[in-house]
């Protein structure tokens, strides 16, 4: 996203002022870069044939950690960006421009083409070689008191990740479990991992998006969450990144390569090392599902909902290592249910399909499983409610008495005319563009009268005007039907 100097917000203006102070010149151009999951703002400054990245953040404590790690890693010849300048108040700093290509971008390109290329696999191996170097050679020099908020990935941290999964994914997923037994399994896993294995520098969020590719070499960014911990966790984060979708053969090959690199620095008891790798892989996968649950199932952000099936596929893979997890009976049962559930599988229609739903606002919005993030949602609660009268409480918006009530006591048909005027252009556009699906939902207080009537009327309109497949879901009535339309112009 490009910006003229006059379009910059306050953060951008402060970053620009800092650039001028540092360089003594005004840039030829500024490009605001897309934000990731943080509150930091990134800007690319171009001047002559050069460029650098300006970063703004009010989180000075986190900035101090990033600056400290960057300076230390650079002194140890680890591939991180050059740090050029930090403002006196530590809210702005300038970094080497590593370009726009991440390892994740390369993987996604390979996925579209059907397989991981040798070039990408070689970059993974280079990344893993540099990771082992960073983790082990830096640990003796790091003052872990300078870590951001948490200095060690210990028993408490492991339990935090596992409980994050329990509260933000498991409890809203419909999976049944005994909370006391599951917590006992979590406690035992956390205790066993915390007291076993060597601890060095743990990157913490070592995923392919945080690995930039410049001149054929991997460079690391966003390591400010680093702390003392088990090094297997970082490899698990990389190999089990949900949307990277690495094959099991590739994962095994890269794990072997990592063990070889680690052995060049420290002695390794291979079987124990591998077992710990899979336990940390499970923790990382479950922590990721917790994040997807919070951002997706609770906050309803479609990007995170779309990622859930990929993470569940990783659960299935981990479960195959059942000799490691079978002694944790409740956890094993939870993993088995996750591996076989189809609740989070995306719905893919073979032809354009319009889903019309009635629902109760008291029971949340309808769940969208197409990956589109939802569609039209119309609020019917401003219409006179027959549910307030005893004679209508046991019947629905499909019944003749309720329909007559609407005709006599409300403007519901006028409301529906406005709804149809709103949705028709989108339906026409979606058909023209060969879209796969559209959802139209109607909500009221109980999901029994007003929303049901409106959904039924929408079906009538669609059947009379379009030759498309239509799904009707009266969620609170537990009714679902599907029709292939035979309308012809």
In terms of domains, do 179 and 242 share one?
yes
Other beta carbons within 10 Å of 269: 10
Q: What is the helix, strand, coil percentage profile of the chain, to 5?
A: 50, 15, 30
CATH number of the domain to which 74 belongs: 3.30.200.20
Last residue of a domain, one of 314, 340, 366: 340
Last residue of a domain, one of 33, 62, 96: 96
CATH number of the domain to which 116 belongs: 3.90.1200.10
- Average pLDDT for residues 259-263, to the nearest whole number? 98
Residue 92 falls within a domain, yes or no?
yes
Task: List, as one string, the DSSP characters of 83-116.
Answer: EEEE-TTSSEEEEE---S-BHHHHHHHHHHHTS-
Q: How many domains does the chain have?
A: 3
Reading the block at residue 483, the tokens are 């029709």
In whole angstroms, what is the distance from residue 166 CA to residue 469 CA? 38
In whole angstroms, what is the distance from residue 483 CA to residue 190 CA? 52
pLDDT digits (tens, 9 = 90+) for 420-438: 999 999 999 999 888 889 9
Residue 1: its pLDDT value, please? 41
In terms of domains, do 257 and 122 share one?
yes
Last residue of a domain, one of 50, 67, 96: 96
In whole angstroms, what is the distance from residue 236 CA to residue 230 CA? 11
In terms of domains, do 169 and 243 share one?
yes
In terms of domains, do 107 and 92 share one?
no
Residue that wins the pLDDT comparison between 483 and 88: 88
In terms of domains, do 135 and 178 share one?
yes
- Average pLDDT for residues 411-415, to the nearest whole number? 96
In terms of domains, do 317 and 464 share one?
no
The order of strands in the sheet holding 479-484 is 376-379, 437-444, 353-360, 469-474, 479-484
Residue 3: its pLDDT value, please? 53
Q: Percent of the chain beyond pLDDT 90?
A: 81
Residue 351: its pLDDT value, please? 86
- Average pLDDT for residues 82-94, to the nearest whole number? 97
Tokens 């500024």 belong to residue = 30
Other beta carbons within 10 Å of 217: 13
Please give the residue range of the domain that contains residue 44. 2-96
Residue 83: its pLDDT value, please? 98
- Average pLDDT for residues 109-118, to the nearest whole number? 91
Q: Which residues, in sequence order, are CB contacts of 214 under 8 Å at separation 6+?
A: 98, 99, 101
Residue 301: its pLDDT value, please? 77
Cβ 450 vs Cβ 380: under 8 Å: yes
- Look at residue 249 and tell me whether its pLDDT is greater than 90: yes
In whole angstroms, what is the distance from residue 462 CA to residue 440 CA? 11
Residue that wins the pLDDT comparison between 217 and 172: 217
Residue 484: its pLDDT value, please? 64
Tell me how far apart the terminal alpha carbons of the chain are, to the nearest angstrom: 44
Residue 483 pLDDT grade (very low, low, confident, very high; cuts 50, 70, 90): confident
Strands 2-3 and 29-33: antiparallel
In terms of domains, do 278 and 385 share one?
no
Residue 75 falls within a domain, yes or no?
yes
- Look at residue 281 and tell me whether its pLDDT is greater than 90: yes
Reading the block at residue 8, the tokens are 């910059």
Residue 468 falls within a domain, yes or no?
yes
In terms of domains, do 109 and 80 share one?
no
In whole angstroms, what is the distance from residue 487 CA to residue 469 CA? 11
pLDDT digits (tens, 9 = 90+) for 1-41: 445 555 788 999 999 999 999 999 899 999 999 876 568 99
Residue 346 falls within a domain, yes or no?
no
Residue that wins the pLDDT comparison between 266 and 483: 266
Residue 347 falls within a domain, yes or no?
no
- Look at residue 66 and tell me whether its pLDDT is greater than 80: yes
pLDDT digits (tens, 9 = 90+) for 295-336: 888 887 777 888 899 999 999 999 988 788 999 999 999 999
Residue 296: its pLDDT value, please? 84
In terms of domains, do 467 and 398 share one?
yes
Residue 373: its pLDDT value, please? 66
In terms of domains, do 247 and 280 share one?
yes
Q: Percent of the chain beyond pLDDT 70?
A: 96
In terms of domains, do 306 and 202 share one?
yes
pLDDT digits (tens, 9 = 90+) for 67-76: 999 999 999 9
In terms of domains, do 220 and 80 share one?
no
- Look at residue 252 and tell me whether its pLDDT is greater than 80: yes
Reading the block at residue 175, the tokens are 């999976």
């Amino acid at each position: 996203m490009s910006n003229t100097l006059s379009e910059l917000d306050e953060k951008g203006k402060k970053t620009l002022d800092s650039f001028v102070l540092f360089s003594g010149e005004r840039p030829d151009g500024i490009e605001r870069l897309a934000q990731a999951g943080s509150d930091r703002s990134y800007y690319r400054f171009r001047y002559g044939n050069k460029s650098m990245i300006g970063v703004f953040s009010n989180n000075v404590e986190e900035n101090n950690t990033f600056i400290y790690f960057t300076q230390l890693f650079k002194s140890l010849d680890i591939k991180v960006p050059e740090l050029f300048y930090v403002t006196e108040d530590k809210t702005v700093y300038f970094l080497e421009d590593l370009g726009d290509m991440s390892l994740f971008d390369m993987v996604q390109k390979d996925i579209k083409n059907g397989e991981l290329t040798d070039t990408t696999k070689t970059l993974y191996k280079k990344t893993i070689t540099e990771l082992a170097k960073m983790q082990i050679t830096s640990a003796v020099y790091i003052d872990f008191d300078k870590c951001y908020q948490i200095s060690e990935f210990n028993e408490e941290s492991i339990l935090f990740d596992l409980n994050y999964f329990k509260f933000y994914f498991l409890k809203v997923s419909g999976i049944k479990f005994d909370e006391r037994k599951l917590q006992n399994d979590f406690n035992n896993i956390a205790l066993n991992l915390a007291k076993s294995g060597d601890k060095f520098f743990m990157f913490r969020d070592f995923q392919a998006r945080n690995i930039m590719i410049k001149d054929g070499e991997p460079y690391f960014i966003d390591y400010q969450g680093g702390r003392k911990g088990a090094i297997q966790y970082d490899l698990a984060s990389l190999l089990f990144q949900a949307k990277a979708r690495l094959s099991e053969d590739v994962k095994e090959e890269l794990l072997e390569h990592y063990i070889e690199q680690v052995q060049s620095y420290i002695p390794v008891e291979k079987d124990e090392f591998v077992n710990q790798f899979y336990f940390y892989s499970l923790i990382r996968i479950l922590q990721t599902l917790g994040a997807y649950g919070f951002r997706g199932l609770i906050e309803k952000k479609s990007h995170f909902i779309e990622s859930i099936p990929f993470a569940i596929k990783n659960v299935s893979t981990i479960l195959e290592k059942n000799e490691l997890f079978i002694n944790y009976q409740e956890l094993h049962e939870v993993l088995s249910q996750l591996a076989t559930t189809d609740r989070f599988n995306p719905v893919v229609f073979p032809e354009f399909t319009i889903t019309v739903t009635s629902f109760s606002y008291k029971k949340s919005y309808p769940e969208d499983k197409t990956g589109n993030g939802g569609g039209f949602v119309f609020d019917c609660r401003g219409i006179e409610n027959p549910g307030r009268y005893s004679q209508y409480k046991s019947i629905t918006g499909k019944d003749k008495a309720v329909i007559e009530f609407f005709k006599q006591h409300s403007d519901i048909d006028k409301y529906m005319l406005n709804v149809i005027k709103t949705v028709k252009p989108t339906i026409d556009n979606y058909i023209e563009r060969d879209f796969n699906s559209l959802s139209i939902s109607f909500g009221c207080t109980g999901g029994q009268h007003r929303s049901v009537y409106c959904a039924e009327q929408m079906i009538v309109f669609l059947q009379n005007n379009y030759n498309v497949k239509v799904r009707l879901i009266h969620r609170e009535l537990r009714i679902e039907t599907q029709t292939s339309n035979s309308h012809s112009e």
